[in-house]
Amino acid sequence: MHTKKNSDALLQIRNLNISFKNGKHSWHEAVKNVSFSIPANQTVALVGESGSGKSVSSLAVMGLLPADTSRISAASEILFNGVNLLKLSPAERRALCGKEIAMIFQEPMSSLNPVLTVGYQIGEVLRLHQGMNRKQARARAIALLEEVGIPDPASKVDSYPCQMSGGQQQRVMIAMAIACEPRLLIADEPTTALDVTIQKQIIDLIKSLQQKHQMAVLFITHDLALVGEVADQVIVMRHGEIREQGEAGQIFTAPQDQYTRALLHCRPDVSHRPLRLPVIADFMQENAPLASTTERQRGWNSDDEIILKVSNLSKHFSVPDGLFRSKTVRAVDHVSFELAKGKTLGIVGESGSGKTTVGLTLMRLHQATGGEAWYKGQNILSMPEKAFHPLKPKIQIIFQNPYASLNPRFTIGQILTEPMQLHQIGNNDAERLKMATALLDKVSLPATALQRYPHEFSGGQRQRIAIARCLSMKPEILICDESVSALDVSVQAQVLNLLQDLQDEFGLSYLFISHDLAVVKYISDQVLVMQHGKQIECGNADALYASPQHDYTRKLLAAVPRGYTAQQGHD
């Protein structure tokens, strides 16, 4: 973390008001009277949930708001080095943004051109802003790829984005952003979709580049634990307004606003496991109660009833390797575990470890290459499809992206009753509709939701609908595939509490697949660690986190964001 305190503000935002068109004649105010400054050579974190206005504010700085559907009030000012960016012509703004101010976006694959090599895309920035020729730009692009930690940059410079991992794509985006050595770097949720180890690498890279190039950094995120590792100052936003801002130490050790306190407590912590995770609503009231200190006991015992036993599960894929060749990828290679009734087995690992393939193979969405999975005395991997059909309702899956897994043309009522019809649950439509209403109540949604469509709900509400759909089958096993990783920390807490309540009430067994080790620790009785398709270690959650036996597990745990307290010694 940069420690030099420089009072000279490089960027000043004054009375920023941004509205978006909401129908023919109405406007929605997304940002309301926001004012803050970013000193030179410091990192300022902008924190808040989805819809808080943090990303909109950064897009306003870059001049990337849609001109036809948005407007910035005449009284607003965005001053960069004393110059009001809102008064510049489009040509002057373009010359400044990319050279003096650069931005890293959340989703690199959406930001990189898929039909151009990464070297060409980095070189384009250099040719446009630095006047380099192609040879000079290529040499500089290779140097930049080396600086951001891309292996073998001389050959990677000719790679296309799809040939690189998510972490490497994000590094390419960072290389493009620092190509012209900007004075201000805006990083908009740069690690949200990344594994915990890659996330730590990107955070460390941004910190080292900030110090090396003496940049100011605006770091935008919803995760306060992450903020504690990077920021000198913190600004907390909610509903388009600033709730609190100040030095990182003050925000983390003595937050003044209830909302800031809520964000600090909502995220699971690997050091303890409360009976229930606090949510925003718990803190947004007068005399809000302190977070629960009672711990939930977790663990697997030898006398627990085993509901699913998996032995030597394998799934191999054949992928092209050149023009006429193919190679075998061992996505899952001889993985074995047992799942107890009413308990949760967490499966963790980086992208490509095979954890999602385990879940999809058990659902028979992939055909297993080998191994057995015993449920109710039957090997569900080898039985004919007709024999497996009656067992399908008992094993359900919740996917990571609820919007992609819910039919946008169906009402919520149709989404919930269709599986009941297919599996002949309920005697008639009226009875099924009554059951759907009860399921919505179970996941804390009103009965009026039955007539609405998925796009009318927030991400957390859509995930609740996906859970309700699974419950309509009266399952015994739920496979949760990164089912909370795309959610804000407060919404994540709500969904985790819901999963815990359902497990307590119905005795459900969960396979909880995630790359977030703090979440896995909170929800799991046992944890299975995977790497490159192989099983690294498996054991009771508390024991494994307290004393990991494998270097890879220790590496994963070391990468978990620890918040401000872990960084105090560096201030």
Instruction: List the beta strands (DSSP E) in 223-325.
Output: 233-238, 241-247, 306-320
Question: Residue 373 is encoded by which pair of tokens?
Answer: 């999975």
Cβ pair 312, 370 in contact under 8 A: yes
Residue 67, amino acid: A
Per DSSP, the residues of 121-157 read HHHHHHHHHH---HHHHHHHHHHHHHHTT-SSHHHHT
| Chain position carrying tokens 């509709």 | 433
E strands, 277-369, are: 306-320, 326-340, 344-348
What tokens appear for 517 in the block?
């080790």
Q: What is the residue-wise DSSP string for 345-383? A: EEEE--TTSSHHHHHHHHTTSS--SEEEEEETTEETTTS
Six-digit token pair at 290? Answer: 């302190």
Phi, psi of 310 (to 5 degrees): -110, 130
Closest CA to 274 of 509, 522, 83: 522
Q: How high is the pLDDT of residue 570?
A: 44
Q: What is the largest CA-CA distance in the chain?
A: 73
Under-70 pLDDT residues of the chain: 1-7, 193, 286-293, 564-571
Q: How far is 108 from 527, CA to CA, in rounded Å?
A: 31
What residue spans of 367-516 are helical by DSSP H? 385-388, 402-405, 412-422, 429-442, 459-471, 489-506
- Determine the pLDDT at residue 286: 63
User: Mapping DSSP to helix (H, G, I), strand (E, B) and coil, where does residue 406 land?
Assistant: coil
CB neighbourhood size of 566 (10 A): 13
Q: What is the pLDDT of residues 300-321, one digit of tens each?
A: 888 899 999 999 999 999 888 7
User: What CA–CA distance (Å, rounded) separates 146 from 505?
Assistant: 54
- Helical (H) or strand (E) element with 38: strand 27-39
Distance (Å, rounded) from C-alpha 91 to C-alpha 104? 21
Residue 314: C-alpha distances to residues 2, 361, 383 (Å)? 47, 9, 16
The predicted structure's pLDDT at residue 3? 40
Q: Which domains does the chain have, with CATH numbers?
A: 28-266 (3.40.50.300), 306-560 (3.40.50.300)
User: Would you state the structure tokens that stand for residue 488, as one six-digit string?
Assistant: 């804000």
- Helix 459-471 / helix 429-442 crossing angle, nearest 10 deg: 130
pLDDT in tens, 421-436: 988 898 899 999 999 9
* Residue 37 bridge partners (DSSP): 12
Cα separations (Å) of 222 from 228, 237, 487?
12, 10, 9
Amino acid at the residue 91: A
Name the nearest CA neighbour of 510 among 259, 110, 498, 472: 498
Burial-class residue 167 by CB neighbours within 10 Å (0-12, 13-18, 19+): buried
What pLDDT shows up at residue 571?
45
Q: Coil, strand or helix: which one is 192? A: coil
CA distance 561 to 558: 8
Q: Give, in degrees to the nearest 5, the angle at Cα 342 between 380 and 306.
A: 45
Instruction: Give me the amino acid identity at 249.
Output: G
d(CA 264, CA 252): 8
Provide the H-helix boundaries in 194-278. 196-213, 224-227, 248-253, 258-266
CA 64 – CA 406 distance, rounded (Å): 31
